């Protein structure tokens, strides 16, 4: 017999019945953490759901939700689902026009907004959204004197709802009974880099299946704690703090404000944590800066024990490799002196499971967290798959893969290397966009992710690039320029790299040095230089970068699929790649084709066996003037490794 | 589509105030009034007597002539702490906070006037002291929420950037729950974004808490946007008084600001 609680409203009611007094939500208000139990949450959602019904919001209607993580916004989502409606969370930092597009596309009739800032945006676009009849606000501050008839406070809607509930006693139960697992539970708009965002429709069945998969894999239960600090409109936050919380019954805490997240995290002590690489990076930078300001004794201790941690920590956490008693004792001492206090400062003392995803994470960054005992793991997925494709299981964590497919997920690799996915958590369609749906989902129900990847020896998926950027070398082997570039960029000395190899025999690269890191490095060695171009041309810098490239080659050689894309020759550019010169996009992504054309002479020289090349380029200064810079660039050879030999040695 | 605030009767009346330091005349028979829930700006070139005027209002300086009536009570030589007790709070041109204390503690000092428990009770944290502390802390937390400074609650003020220190100072003035708030150049030295934030808080204080505000400001666009009425001082004399629109086109004001060929 299938589980009767197969929609979110039914699950909320079940949590309220099974654990009425367990905390479901926390939010800090006036310096004190306020708690709402599951019973209270069910009651609040019921009042709001009936209020929505009183306002004429009915089955199939769409409810916009816009704001930071606030308990009431989550309750509004549950309430909409109770009456068969579909919540559509929006990014709280969207400008008015972006919000207008989504509200029009979703034909939302009611929007729940966090505060005055959001209400102002909504009022501005009201004339463009004829379907939008009601704006409900959570925080009344500054809205006292607004007189628009569309505006209603959250409390007012709940009061209407309680009245409606009294007059229609059977309504609420009947509305929940009418829901089906195959109803759409939410529509999440993906922030597409090209064109308008697409609305991804996810059913109750898909989201609950995903929530259960994660809950079982990580043994999530009512005793777990999570801090909701990423946008609600992002599928990950939605899944972790809404779907999983309702499935597993754990408590979600909302930070006091976006600036207090670090302090709130220390106070709450989450057991379950998610952070994209950029957040982890920012945290590590803070730690590093504070350690540099610390006294010599502390700094010495930190450096010594971090060395121990890097050697021993990941092995201990993985549990697969043997660790000697002496190393264990040393790590234990380090844990007492350094790692424990550090985890405490980061608010990660109680973290049992931490995930990162979204972009490639540098191995050093990844290993840092694991070495201090935080069980950080990578996962892989998209909005369309409810972020449920691959996760690294405990004990099988590697810095450069995203792990094996989750239970119930079917993965296939297309001829082009593109990853195709079929899972119970798959989206139904793009809202009102059958053409895009047909392009993304094939006849067999596989979703085309647009990512290229392959499986390593242990069956872990390795994502290397966007499928459209992946090419082939002349001998037909895979060439993933972004993967190589990322690998190079993970070295602190390399700021940017551009790899060439499409249709060629071998891979060559243009490299940009990181002025800060190499400048520092040069200073310590008393290496004098006059500027960027001079520093970039120093033989010692070439040696340093060659070391990085060769290290990268060694790692590539260990991987049968990529052994052929080792970098044979490279040169260091005399100027930084710059968005003003059209070499980077505004989000700092390399425009590979443009760079290839602009520096065609250099690329030819890399492939022709010359040892140097003269180049003259136009640069645009910050004040808009242009000028010419010229340089005679050296071309360096890098050692390549015999793939089979390296793999045998390993 | 917002409803207008209700501006009430005059809450503060300044009549014929003259103030001099030895031979230097700072103010010369200046008269104006401030109505309830109004935002009133005092502007003028450097040395026009703006800060002196604020100091007269809250009793730091005692004028040789004229009087100041607040809420109908006429008085001449009131002392600053009496003014504070009667509901006049202020901020300073140069921030005057306790730099080594946290934001929270600085705001709590704003509540001192309202504490009734004795030294011993407070030292031992007994009965009334405990009850009062909780009450005041709740009030201070409301201000922290209002000014959106939760993230620096426990940070020593000396470590904060200038714009935030200004905000904390406003918070301390609000902690006294004033009827009249005197702001001496609240936006001096701020960048555009900080100015916008501060302007919003000034408007919010006026709108949500119903506090009457007198402010001195040099940034004309801020003055024109925020204030209901403007007093213009030049060399200690009032040269104009009216709405921002009226003052802006006033001949004497233009001369005072741009200089005039005599």
CB spacing of A260 vs B151 below 8 angstroms: yes
CB spacing of A145 vs B5 below 8 angstroms: yes
Q: What is the pTM of this model?
A: 0.88
**One domain for residues A297 and A154:** no
Write the CATH number for A73.
3.40.50.12780
Spatial distance between the Cα atoms of A500 and A232, rounded to a whole number of angstroms: 39
Q: How far is B95 from chain A (nearest CA, A)?
A: 24
Q: How far is A34 from chain B (nearest CA, A)?
A: 14
A451 falls within a domain: no
A215 falls within a domain: yes
A616 - beta bridge partners? A630
Spatial distance between the Cα atoms of A134 and A148, rounded to a whole number of angstroms: 10
* Selected residues 133-172 of chain A with any CB under 8 Å from a CB in chain B: 141-142, 144-148
Spatial distance between the Cα atoms of B259 and B254, rounded to a whole number of angstroms: 8
A300 falls within a domain: yes
Spatial distance between the Cα atoms of B158 and B164, rounded to a whole number of angstroms: 10
Q: How far apart are the first and last CA of chain B?
A: 48
Of residues B141, B151, B207, nearest to A257 (C-beta) = B151
Residue of B1, B150, B154, B210 for testing the chain A interface, max A β-carbons within 10 Å = B150
pLDDT of residue A1: 34
Determine the average pLDDT of the residues in B109-133.
Answer: 82
Domain end position, chosen among A329, A347, A374: A374
- Of all helices (H) and strands (E), which one includes residue A296? helix A296-318
A62 falls within a domain: yes
Determine the average pLDDT of the residues in B204-209.
Answer: 91
**One domain for residues A365 and A497:** no
Kindly list the strands in the beta sheet with A272-274, ordered across the sheet, starting from the edge strand earlier in the chain: A272-274, A353-356, A376-380, A390-391
Tell me which residue range forms the domain holding A503. 470-649
**One domain for residues A509 and A362:** no
What residue of B is the nearest CA neighbor of A117? B200
Does B135 reach chain A within 8 Å, measured CB to CB? no
Question: Are the C-beta atoms of A51 and A160 separated by less than 8 Å?
Answer: yes
Compute the C-alpha angle A593/A556/A512, nearest 5°. Answer: 45
pLDDT of residue B262: 54
Domain end position, chosen among A346, A374, A402: A374
CB spacing of B151 vs A142 below 8 angstroms: no
**One domain for residues A315 and A247:** no
Spatial distance between the Cα atoms of A92 and A86, rounded to a whole number of angstroms: 18
Domain B95-177 is of which CATH architecture? 3-Layer(aba) Sandwich (3.40)
Beta A478-479 vs A471-472: how paired, if at all?
antiparallel
Residue ranges for chain A with pLDDT beneath 70: 1-3, 191-194, 587, 650
Question: Are the C-beta atoms of B218 and B188 separated by less than 8 Å?
Answer: yes
Spatial distance between the Cα atoms of A380 and A260, rounded to a whole number of angstroms: 28
**One domain for residues A227 and A249:** yes
CB spacing of B150 vs A256 below 8 angstroms: yes
Does B148 reach chain A within 8 Å, measured CB to CB? yes
Write the CATH number for A633.
3.30.300.30
Residue A392 DSSP one-character state: P
CB spacing of B150 vs A259 below 8 angstroms: yes
Does B82 reach chain A within 8 Å, measured CB to CB? no
* Phi, psi for residue A544 in degrees, rounded to 5: -60, -45
> What size, in residues, is chain B?
262
Residue of A28, A122, A127, A142 for testing the chain B interface, max B β-carbons within 10 Å = A142
Query: What's the longest Cα–Cα distance across chain A?
Result: 87
Q: Mean pLDDT, chain B, as a whole number?
A: 90
Name the nearest CA neighbour of A191 among A411, A358, A356.
Answer: A358
Does B225 reach chain A within 8 Å, measured CB to CB? no
A336 falls within a domain: yes
A391 falls within a domain: no
**One domain for residues A368 and A489:** no
Q: Where are the alpha helices (DSSP H) in B5-58?
A: 50-57
Of residues B2, B137, B144, nearest to A146 (C-beta) = B2
Name the nearest CA neighbour of A455 among A417, A482, A496.
Answer: A417
A448 falls within a domain: no
Of residues B4, B142, B151, nearest to A30 (C-beta) = B142
Does A319 reach chain B within 8 Å, measured CB to CB? no
> To the nearest 10°, the Cα dihedral for A171, A176, A178, A184?
130
pLDDT of residue A360: 81
**One domain for residues A95 and A69:** yes
Q: Do domains B1-87+180-188+211-262 and B95-177 have the same CATH topology?
A: yes
Of residues A32, A145, A256, nearest to B2 (C-beta) = A145
**One domain for residues A252 and A362:** no
Give the number of other Cβ atoms within 10 Å of residue A92's Cβ: 22
Provide long-range contacts, Cβ within 8 A and 24+ apart, for A616-624: A617/A575, A617/A581, A618/A581, A619/A575, A619/A578, A619/A581, A620/A578, A620/A580, A620/A581, A622/A580
pLDDT 10s digits, A124-151? 999 999 999 999 999 998 888 899 999 9
CB spacing of B138 vs A30 below 8 angstroms: yes
Beta A62-66 vs A134-137: how paired, if at all?
unpaired
Chain A residues closer than 8 Å to B138 by CB: 30
What is the Cβ-side half-sphere exposure of residue B25, based on CA atoms within 13 angstroms? 12
User: Could you tell me the two tokens for A628?
Assistant: 């010419």
Provide long-range contacts, Cβ within 8 A and 24+ apart, for A593-601: A595/A498, A595/A510, A596/A498, A596/A500, A599/A510, A599/A573
**One domain for residues A279 and A354:** yes
Question: Are the C-beta atoms of A188 and A89 separated by less than 8 Å?
Answer: yes
How many distinct structural domains can be found in chain A? 3
Spatial distance between the Cα atoms of A331 and A309, rounded to a whole number of angstroms: 7
**One domain for residues A62 and A158:** yes
Question: Are the C-beta atoms of A488 and A509 separated by less than 8 Å?
Answer: yes
Question: Are the C-beta atoms of A537 and A634 separated by less than 8 Å?
Answer: yes
Q: Reduced to 3 states, what is the DSSP secondary structure of residue A27?
A: strand
Domain end position, chosen among A247, A272, A297: A272
User: Could you tell me the two tokens for B109?
Assistant: 């000092």
**One domain for residues A39 and A126:** yes
Q: Reduced to 3 states, what is the DSSP secondary structure of residue A248?
A: helix
| Domain ranges within chain B, ordered by starting residue | 1-87+180-188+211-262, 95-177
Of residues B3, B137, B150, nearest to A260 (C-beta) = B150
**One domain for residues A131 and A207:** yes
CA distances (Å), B138 to each of A30, A65, A285, B6, B195, in order? 7, 31, 36, 29, 28
- Of all helices (H) and strands (E), which one includes residue A283? helix A277-293
Determine the average pLDDT of the residues in B210-224.
Answer: 90
CB spacing of B144 vs A31 below 8 angstroms: yes
User: Could you tell me the two tokens for A56?
Assistant: 């004429």
Question: Are the C-beta atoms of B199 and B187 separated by less than 8 Å?
Answer: yes
Spatial distance between the Cα atoms of A501 and A507, rounded to a whole number of angstroms: 5
Residues sharing a CB contact under 8 Å with residue A390, sequence separation 6 or more, in sequence order: A379, A380, A381, A402, A403, A404, A405, A406, A409, A411, A460, A461
Name the nearest CA neighbour of A281 among A212, A386, A360, A337.
Answer: A360
Look up the CATH superfamily of B1-87+180-188+211-262.
P-loop containing nucleotide triphosphate hydrolases (3.40.50.300)
User: Could you tell me the two tokens for B37?
Assistant: 């829930």
Spatial distance between the Cα atoms of A391 and A344, rounded to a whole number of angstroms: 26
């Amino acid at each position: 017999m299938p589980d009767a609680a197969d929609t979110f409203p039914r699950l909320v009611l079940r949590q309220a019945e099974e654990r009425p007094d367990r905390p479901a939500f926390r939010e800090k208000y006036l310096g004190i953490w306020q708690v709402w139990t599951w019973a209270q949450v069910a009651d609040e959602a019921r009042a709001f759901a009936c209020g929505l019904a009183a306002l004429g919001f009915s089955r199939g209607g769409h409810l916009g939700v816009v704001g930071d993580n606030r308990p009431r916004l989550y309750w509004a989502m549950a309430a909409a689902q109770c009456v068969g409606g579909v919540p559509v969370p929006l990014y709280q930092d969207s400008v008015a026009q972006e919000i207008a597009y989504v509200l029009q596309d979703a034909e939302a009739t009611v929007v729940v907004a966090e505060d005055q800032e959001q209400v102002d945006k909504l009022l501005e676009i009201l004339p463009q959204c004829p379907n939008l009849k009601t704006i409900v606000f959570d925080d009344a501050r500054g809205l006292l004197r607004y007189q628009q008839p569309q505006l209603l406070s959250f409390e007012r809607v709940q009061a209407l709802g309680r009245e409606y509930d009294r007059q229609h006693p059977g309504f609420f139960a009947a509305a929940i009974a009418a829901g089906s697992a195959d109803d759409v539970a939410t529509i999440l708009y993906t922030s597409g880099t090209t064109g308008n965002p697409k609305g991804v429709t996810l059913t109750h069945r898909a989201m609950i299946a995903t929530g259960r998969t994660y809950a079982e894999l990580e043994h999530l239960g009512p005793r777990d704690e999570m801090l909701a600090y990423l946008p609600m409109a992002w599928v990950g936050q939605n899944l972790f703090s809404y779907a999983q919380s309702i499935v597993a019954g754990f408590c979600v805490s909302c930070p006091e404000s976006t600036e207090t997240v670090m302090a709130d995290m220390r106070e709450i002590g989450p057991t379950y944590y998610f952070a994209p690489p950029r957040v982890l990076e920012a945290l590590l930078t803070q730690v590093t800066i504070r350690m540099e300001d610390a006294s010599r004794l502390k700094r010495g201790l930190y450096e010594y024990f971090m060395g121990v941690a890097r050697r021993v920590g990941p092995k201990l956490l993985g549990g697969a490799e043997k660790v000697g008693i002496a190393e264990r004792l040393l790590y234990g001492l380090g844990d007492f002196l350094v790692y424990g206090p550090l985890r405490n400062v980061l608010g990660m003392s109680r973290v049992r499971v931490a995930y990162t995803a979204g972009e490639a994470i540098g191995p050093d960054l990844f290993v840092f967290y694991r070495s201090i005992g935080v069980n950080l793991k990578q996962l892989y997925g998209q909005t369309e798959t409810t972020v449920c494709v691959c996760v690294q299981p405990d004990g099988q964590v590697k810095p450069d893969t995203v792990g094996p497919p989750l239970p119930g997920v079917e993965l296939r690799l297309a001829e082009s290397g593109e990853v195709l996915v079929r899972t119970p958590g798959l989206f139904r369609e793009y809202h009102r966009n059958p053409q895009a749906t047909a392009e993304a989902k094939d006849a067999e129900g596989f979703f085309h992710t647009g990512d290229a990847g392959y499986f390593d020896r242990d069956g872990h998926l390795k994502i290397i690039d966007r499928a459209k950027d992946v090419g082939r070398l002349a001998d037909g082997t895979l060439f993933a320029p972004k993967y190589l570039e990322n690998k190079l960029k993970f070295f602190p000395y390399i700021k940017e790299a551009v790899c060439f190899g499409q249709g060629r025999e071998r891979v060559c690269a243009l490299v940009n040095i990181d002025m800060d890191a190499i400048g520092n490095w040069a200073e310590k060695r008393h290496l004098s230089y006059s500027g960027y171009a001079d520093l970039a041309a120093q033989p010692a810098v070439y040696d340093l970068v060659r070391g990085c490239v060769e290290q990268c080659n060694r790692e590539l050689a260990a991987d049968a699929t990529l052994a052929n894309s080792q970098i044979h020759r490279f040169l260091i550019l005399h100027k930084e790649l710059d968005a003003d010169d059209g070499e980077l996009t505004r989000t700092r992504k390399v425009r590979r084709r443009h760079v290839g054309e602009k520096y065609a002479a250099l690329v030819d020289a890399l492939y022709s066996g010359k040892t140097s090349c003269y180049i003259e380029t136009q640069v645009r200064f910050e004040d808009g003037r242009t000028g010419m810079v010229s340089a005679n660039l050296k071309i360096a050879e890098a050692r390549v490794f015999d793939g089979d030999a390296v793999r045998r040695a390993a | 589509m917002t409803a207008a605030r209700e501006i009430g009767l005059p809450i503060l009346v300044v009549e014929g105030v003259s103030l001099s330091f030895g031979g230097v005349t700072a103010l010369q028979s200046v008269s104006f009034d401030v109505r309830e829930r109004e935002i009133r700006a005092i502007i003028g070139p450097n040395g026009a007597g703006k800060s002196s005027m604020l100091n007269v209002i809250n009793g730091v300086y005692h004028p040789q002539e004229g009087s100041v009536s607040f809420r109908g009570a006429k008085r001449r030589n009131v002392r600053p702490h009496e003014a504070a007790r009667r509901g006049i709070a202020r901020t300073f041109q140069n921030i005057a906070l306790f730099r080594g204390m946290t934001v929270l503690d600085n705001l709590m000092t704003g509540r001192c006037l309202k504490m009734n428990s004795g030294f011993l009770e407070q030292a031992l944290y007994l009965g009334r002291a405990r009850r009062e502390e909780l009450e005041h802390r709740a009030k201070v937390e409301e201000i922290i929420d209002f000014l959106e400074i939760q993230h620096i609650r426990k940070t020593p003020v000396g470590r904060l950037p200038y714009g935030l220190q200004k905000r904390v100072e406003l918070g301390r003035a609000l902690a006294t729950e004033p009827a009249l708030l005197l702001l001496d150049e609240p936006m001096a030295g701020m960048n555009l974004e900080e100015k916008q934030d501060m302007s919003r808080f000034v408007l919010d204080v006026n709108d949500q808490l119903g506090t009457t505000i007198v402010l001195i400001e040099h940034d004309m666009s801020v003055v024109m946007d925020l204030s209901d009425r403007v007093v213009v001082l030049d060399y200690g004399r009032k040269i104009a008084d009216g709405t921002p629109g009226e003052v802006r086109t006033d001949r004497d004001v233009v001369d005072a600001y741009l200089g005039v060929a005599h």
